[in-house]
Structure 1
């Protein structure tokens, strides 16, 4: 039976170069050239590899030799691409010019690598019945899909649109492998063995994980785990009631929800992710009994997100309406706390509250009051005579660097920003940002915003971010509450020292939705069931955290119940408070 034409809609570079200007066209000599690259000078190494891979794709040689040369140079290209990540990951959303160019270089390196392997695959198809050629073609398609997958991951990590034709190339490579019966052949890549279908499926999984709602490290973790998870999804030509996503092999588009698709054609494929969702649910219920491979980098919150997006269609709760105008906003728990406190520094809030409590306990004994405070801090900065002397230096705090003796730089105060509204709904905003973005503008981050300087702050969370070429960045925020009360919170421990005070925000009860009052706290230092001491103004209260209702990268949200107010310190405790100074007298 005549094979269908596998080259349809695969874009290939033209071979118009008779010889190379660097490197070598013999595998052994190329190995020597690769070993001689100045790996300590990453810029020069990247430059030479970039030029070489471009020339190799244009070189007039047979497919067997091309494949051998690609296999020699590929590890170095992957190593350089990984090394370049530090220049563009974990930075602001809108990258500086240098970082943007480095990211473009990494994309170009792997794009040219994919082109080289596509050449091998398409030229080798003519001799696919040959066992050695069949194996080489399978490896080449797998390498090309992997390179395009790495490119896709980088786009999602930078919240950028995927390059033109990337999805069409992925679809066509998969179709090529299916047509010639090689999509299931196992290919060893480093220490991991997988098939072309698995390499392709992890691209589909990444695209359907709502990547604009995830952070860079989370996307990398999903991409890594998806190799092991890929066999749990099924790609079929016929629609089934369990199919959640659909895609067109002849279109340059990622998968979409089946309910959002138009009338299907023969080139459409359907994704059934029900087995994977069941496996994730089983792992969340009893991880010790589950056979699902879950990297340590994927926490329970992220797995819950994946279970939701791969398990059911989530529709927007409110209709969006276009709206223009400016909003003021601040980012992060530190920034939100600062502006909700009317720009009072957190240290000042804690100090005022502590002094107020000390005065109420014993205003007539500043020495004892200071000792009580020091005992609770377990002698941190303990100085029983600190309040005995009053001078014009009393309110001046000078921090010194212990190692150098120099004056420590003051921590910069949080700042607010302004951006434009694109559309609004009762549940949140879509906002537009021009120019450089702050580092805290990222998914899962807490923020506060208001329409004008005289209005109150509303508390919200960043749900998704994206970049639009020539239009800056856009991000969606979900409103959590129309306001918030800043508090200082510390974890109370049965054994050992209580934690230091940390920032927290109380959100009032939302009667309309049935949500009780909740407490926003840092992701580290607090857990459900923990008893927490809250300092609000000059009032002290104790609460117990209930099961978290929201856990995102920037904060945790806990309902809580009030506990009995702590009793005043009794005389015996005052004696204990003095014990630690006897040896120092």
Structure 2
């Protein structure tokens, strides 16, 4: 399979010569305006563009890139908070930070790809295995970070990204360097390899980031860096159980796909398998330890794993990596319009025109104003929608949503499950309906004065769904006693069972407490 990497053209007569002297690069780095990450990134990008526009000796180019890389990582980490916690779609300012992050890693990737080309063109390419492994690992890492920025913005990575990723890995395999250890401060125990970093990119795509809250995308990225060694890349072979088996086509521009869903005959020359069942067992062990109140001492889980309910994320990941692919449900195309109230506060206000809103002073003027969305298609349990450009609504994965179409007078309750920003920057979302109606309430803790908006969802006997209480995440927990006020009465309840927790709300079953 021929290698064809995307690279900028070289200038035979550059006006500015690229700086490759170590002490001069150190002086440049020291003068960067780190307090302003966009300016610091722009300055570094300018320097990298000069480096990537000229013919430079291989050793000089690689040395310069290795000196710039820690600074690129530092600036990138300073850029991340400006867009990684934002709602969808990103604002112009937030998108500017994301675009600069992509451009920074794009230039780093160009540099390492140039280094690889230089290595490939060497007449005497002897004893360069470790250097080849290092260059390919660095290039794949840069592409990994570009993909992560796309995931955080709920955008699909360009097809060219997957094509180059697969080509780089194939190149390493051809030279038998994919398993060689590469020193990397970002790796587990400061070590990485082409295999590990490539596997991590594949696993992140399979984690279905379009269904994850942006905070969970970052957590998943970090977690996978610690456990990706338990997944296995291997040639085609006999498959007894398709669960946790994915096909990777190295001559394609696509992410890995479940082997069971592949309709074409695999090619042993360019297709390989990614096996994730071993990693799923490792995730299961982490879930078991957490349920026993034990935090693994290998650093694979964050120190606040219990407080942040990390188990929820692990349960989601084990479904992606350890089970057979889900069957797809048929959808019917539609072109209707619907009204949405996105978020608990908005849904609460819309359902009762703000009569019972807690902390009214903090309520935004337009928080309870419905926004208009286009219906793309519907299924038995939900629908997919597209946000009109005129709408100013911001949304998050896991938001509770009040939804009403033109044919009904009742607001239904749904959960925003996935999102995708297409190539035209249009935001598409998927909603799952969880209740045909809801009653608004103000919930108040029995032992303090803390109160907040809540929705009471009715019992659905046909679906064996008990009546439930929906509140902001972290507002209450099981065994709490709450007083809640509705339009018609005041009741006391005991929170009994967690039904669902998203990044935005928690839903509990409850029992009424007799009032003396």
Aligned equivalents of 1:65, 1:206: Cα separation in 2: 33
Give 2:471's match in structure 1, choosing from 504, 521, 530: 521
1:518–1:559 contact (8 Å) kept in structure 2: yes
Aligned equivalents of 2:211, 2:77: Cα separation in 1: 23
- Higher deviation after alignment, 448-457 or 136-145: 448-457
Give 2:423's match in structure 1, choosing from 466, 469, 475: 469
* Residue in 2 that maps onto 1:254: 255
* Residue in 2 that maps onto 1:333: 344
* Residue in 2 that maps onto 1:305: 316
Q: How far off its partner does 1:305 sit?
A: 1.0
| Cα distance, 1:178–1:439 mapped onto 2, change above 3 Å | farther
Give 1:545's match in structure 2, choosing from 492, 495, 500: 495
1:24–1:33 contact (8 Å) kept in structure 2: no
2:89–2:394 contact (8 Å) kept in structure 1: no
* Residue in 2 that maps onto 1:237: 235
Q: How many equivalent pairs are there?
A: 498
Give 2:510's match in structure 1, choosing from 548, 560, 585: 560
Aligned equivalents of 2:214, 2:512: Cα separation in 1: 38
* Residue in 1 that maps onto 2:272: 269
* Residue in 2 that maps onto 1:391: none
| Cα distance, 1:128–1:79 mapped onto 2, change above 3 Å | farther
User: SS at 1:58's partner residue?
Assistant: coil
Aligned equivalents of 2:39, 2:295: Cα separation in 1: 50
- CA deviations 1:121-154 (Å, max 9, x no partner) are 23224478644x3322222111111110000000
User: SS at 1:414's partner residue?
Assistant: coil
Matches within 5 A, 1:104-503: 104-125=99-120, 126=122, 130-131=126-127, 133-190=128-185, 192-239=190-237, 240=239, 241=241, 242-263=243-264, 264-266=266-268, 267-287=270-290, 288=294, 293-295=300-302, 296=304, 299-315=310-326, 318-347=329-358, 411-412=364-365, 413-435=367-389, 438=392, 440-452=394-406, 455-470=409-424, 472-492=426-446, 497-503=447-453
* Unpaired segments ≥5 residues, structure 2: none
| Cα distance, 1:62–1:294 mapped onto 2, change above 3 Å | same
- CA deviations 1:357-389 (Å, max 9, x no partner) are xxxxxxxxxxxxxxxxxxxxxxxxxxxxxxxxx
The structure with more radius of gyration: 1
User: SS at 2:192's partner residue?
Assistant: strand
* Unpaired segments ≥5 residues, structure 1: 349-398, 400-407, 568-585
- CA deviations 1:257-308 (Å, max 9, x no partner) are 2222222112222221112212222222223275662224661211111111
Q: TM-score, normalised by structure 2?
A: 0.89
Aligned equivalents of 1:491, 1:319: Cα separation in 2: 44
Aligned equivalents of 1:545, 1:332: Cα separation in 2: 22
Aligned equivalents of 1:551, 1:98: Cα separation in 2: 31
2:358–2:442 contact (8 Å) kept in structure 1: no
Aligned equivalents of 2:411, 2:327: Cα separation in 1: 24
Higher relative contact order (CA 8 A, sep 6+): 1
Aligned equivalents of 2:4, 2:274: Cα separation in 1: 23
Give 2:19's match in structure 1, choosing from 17, 24, 39: 24
User: SS at 2:312's partner residue?
Assistant: helix
Aligned equivalents of 1:458, 1:286: Cα separation in 2: 39
* Residue in 2 that maps onto 1:393: none
| Cα distance, 1:222–1:343 mapped onto 2, change above 3 Å | same
Aligned equivalents of 2:178, 2:84: Cα separation in 1: 33
